[in-house]
Structure 1
Amino acid sequence: MKHPRVLLWLLLLLTWNFALTSCSNDDDDTTEEVLGDWTTRSQFEGLARNAAVSFTLNGKAYVGLGTDGVDRFKDFWEYTPATNTWRQLADFPGVGRIQAVAFAAGGKGYVGTGYDGVNKLRDFWQYDPTTNTWTRKADFGGTARYGAVALSLEDKGYVGTGYDGNFKKDFWQYDPTADQWTQKPSFGGNKRVGAVAFTLHESGYILAGTDNDLMLTDMWSYSPATEQWTERRALVSNTDEDYDYSNVPRSAASAFVVNNRGFVALGTNGGYLTSCWEYNPDEDTWKVKTAFEGSARIQAVGFGLGDYGYLGLGTTGTTRLDDFWQLAPDAEDAD
Structure 2
Amino acid sequence: MGLGTDGSDKYKDFWEYTPATNTWRQIADFPGVGRYQAVAFAANGKGYVGTGYDGLNRLKDFWEYDPSTNTWAQKADFAGSARYGAVAFAINDKGYVGTGYDGNYKKDFWQYDPLADAWTQKPSFGGNKRLGASAFVVNNEGYICTGLDNGTYQTDNWSYNPSTETWAEHRPLILNDDNVAGDNYNFSAVPRAYGVAFSIGNTGFVALGSKDSQLTNCWAYSPTDDNWYQKTDFGGSSRTSAVAFGLGDYGYIGLGANGSTRYDDLWILEPNADVD
Is 1:106 aligned with 2:44?
yes
Aligned to 1:262: 204
Kindly indicate whether structure 1 or structure 2 has the higher relative contact order, using CA contacts under 8 Å at least 6 residues apart.
1
Aligned to 1:53: none
Name the CA distance, whole Å, in 1 between partners of 2:134 and 2:3: 18
Provide Cα deviations, 1:118-174, integer angstroms capped at 9, x if missing partner.
110000000000000000000001000000000001110000000000000000000
Aligned to 1:171: 109
Find 1:247's aligned residue among 163, 176, 189: 189
TM-score normalised by structure 1 residue count: 0.81
Name the CA distance, whole Å, in 2 between partners of 1:333 and 1:147: 34
Find 1:83's aligned residue among 21, 24, 32: 21
TM-score normalised by structure 2 residue count: 0.98
Aligned to 1:330: 272
Aligned to 2:156: 218
Moved over 6 A (4+): none
Name the CA distance, whole Å, in 2 between partners of 1:295 and 1:83: 25
- Paired residues for 1:172-191 under 5 Å: 172-191=110-129
Is 1:146 aligned with 2:84?
yes
Structure index of larger Rg: 1
Find 2:218's aligned residue among 267, 276, 298: 276
Cα offset for 1:332? 1.5
Cα offset for 1:67? 0.5
Aligned to 2:231: 289
> Aligned to 1:64, what secondary structure does the other structure show?
coil
Provide Cα deviations, 1:167-195, integer angstroms capped at 9, x if missing partner.
00000000001000000000000000000
Find 1:233's aligned residue among 132, 154, 171: 171
Name the CA distance, whole Å, in 1 between partners of 2:155 and 2:37: 22
Structure 2 gap segments, 5+ residues each: none
- Relative to total residues, which structure has the larger helix share, 1 or 2? 1
Is 1:308 aligned with 2:250?
yes
- Paired residues for 1:34-73 under 5 Å: 63-73=1-11
Cα offset for 1:242? 1.1
Cα offset for 1:318? 2.0
Aligned to 1:48: none
CA RMSD, 1 decimal:
0.5
Provide Cα deviations, 1:194-231, integer angstroms capped at 9, x if missing partner.
00101110100000000000000001000001100000
Name the CA distance, whole Å, in 1 between partners of 2:35 and 2:232: 32
Name the CA distance, whole Å, in 2 between partners of 1:270 and 1:117: 24
Name the CA distance, whole Å, in 2 between partners of 1:147 and 1:329: 27
Q: Percent identity?
A: 67
Provide Cα deviations, 1:48-75, integer angstroms capped at 9, x if missing partner.
xxxxxxxxxxxxxxx0000011100000
Residue pair 2:86, 2:98 contacting (<8 A) in 1 also: yes
Find 2:35's aligned residue among 94, 97, 103: 97
Structure 1 gap segments, 5+ residues each: 1-62
